[in-house]
Amino acid sequence: MYNIQPKTLFVGKNTIYLPSCHSTNTFAAELIQNSEILDGTIVITSNQTAGRGQRGNSWETIPGQNITASFILKPKFLTATEQFKLNIAVSLGVHEFLEKYLPNDLKVKWPNDIYVANRKLGGILIENSLSGSRIGCSIVGIGLNINQLGFAEPKAISLRMAAPNDEYDIEKLVEELAQSLEKNYLELKAGFANRQKERYLRILFRYQEKHFFEQGNERFSGQIMGVADSGCLIVEVNGELKYFDFKEIKFVI
């Protein structure tokens, strides 16, 4: 399974398929520690038993019905302070891949969840290791709900639920995803980070809209005004711009 042949220069040219594993990100990290792994290697599984998301959340998936994969990249052209540029490029790659099937209501929820209207279709978890002042290696974990039709979490949705179809060919989708990720990654490498940030803001969930947020036990109204180079979310609260790191603020949905 997963004999994929994406039309890419390097992403997906080496694929490691695991019938079952605890977490593709964890497995990829173990590979990197113990061997020299090719740039663009994909670790993919049909059954991820302990998938991880932002904030330590678990990821619910039925075996064989979704995309659960980790892409190993070596973005040594980025410094440690530029890590969020990679988040933006990857988020754009996933969004660009999906919008062929979901042209409407598809958004990236900061920092990098994939939403259709107010329901979550997927998530991205990027784990970077540094080499001096630069990023030596990045593990880009991507979980996308594809053919699954039922979830314990009512706010979850799949591609098949949002764009009804016979079962989607997951291998074909992984090829398309690899192509879209590589395209946006190479754009970043070529120096188009500012242009990518503009595109990211255009597809950002609830950008420049008034909504409620939570910080700790406090609920407040605010308007997303942008994202700092550090990755912090910039929210206008009572006429004042405030900066929130990844675990400091929650969306009320």
Confidence bin at 61 (pLDDT 50/70/90)? confident
Answer whether 0.85 is exceeded by the pTM. Answer: yes
Q: Which pLDDT band holds residue 17 (cuts at 50, 70, 90)?
A: very high
Q: For residues 75 and 58, which has the higher predicted lDDT (pLDDT)?
A: 75
What is the Cα–Cα distance from 6 to 44, expressed in whole angstroms?
Answer: 14
pLDDT tens profile 131-187: 999 999 999 999 999 999 999 999 999 999 999 989 999 999 999 999 999 999 999
Question: Does residue 26 carry a pLDDT above 50?
Answer: yes
Q: Angle at CA 123, nearest 5°, toward 18 and 92? A: 105
**Is the distance from CB of 120 to CB of 127 less than 8 angstroms?**
no
Confidence of residue 49 (pLDDT cuts 50, 70, 90): confident
What own/partner pairs with CB < 8 Å and gap ≥ 24 does 98-105 have?
A: 98/144, 98/159, 100/176, 101/159, 101/163, 102/159, 102/162, 102/163
Structural domains present in the chain? 15-202 (3.30.930.10), 210-251 (2.30.30)
